Amino acid sequence: MSNFNHFDQDGNAIMVDISKKEITERVAVASCDVLVRAETMALILKGNIKKGDVLSVARLAGILGAKKTPDLIPLCHPLALSSAEIDLRCDEKQNIIEITSRCKINGRTGVEMEALTAVSVAALTIYDMCKAVDRGIKITNIRLLEKVGGKSGQWREQ
């Protein structure tokens, strides 16, 4: 019925069979930005948000998000991640928290969705922890920066 590999000949959604794919090292890097008010950034950096250490909790939430990706995205394969790293950088001049994730696996399918889910969950955690002091928080620019491995090789955002 279609040229999409997540659908069978009758148009039903399916999980792609990856059993014949070669096992290779695969890495994906994703990022997003969380825009906050200057006052919110100051509270985060001073550790004065009532719900706790925003950056540490967001880092842990991002790692958990990467691990839980197949529970959230219906056609993703469950993967045994080799690593899931989350970096949060606060740009005080622009009041932006830049979140970057790097996920890695030795497997038959890529980890792009895990990397994207990781930054998304970390960003949502920042929103949740800070919404009482800043309802105008913006989560923006969620994107894949790089993927390495598999048949298609390397791809990098231009």
Reported for 35-38, long-range contacts at CB under 8 A and 24+ positions apart, including other chains, are 35/94, 35/95, 35/96, 35/137, 35/138, 35/139, 35/140, 36/95, 36/96, 36/97, 36/126, 36/130, 36/134, 36/137, 37/95, 37/134, 37/136, 38/95
User: Is 128 an annotated catalytic residue?
Assistant: yes
* Options 17, 33, 87, 128, the catalytic residue: 128
**Residue labelled with tokens 């800070």:** 130
SS (H, E, C) 136-156: CCEEEEEEEEEEECCCCCCEE
Question: At 48, phi and psi to the nearest 5?
Answer: -105, 20
Which residues have a catalytic role annotated?
Answer: 128
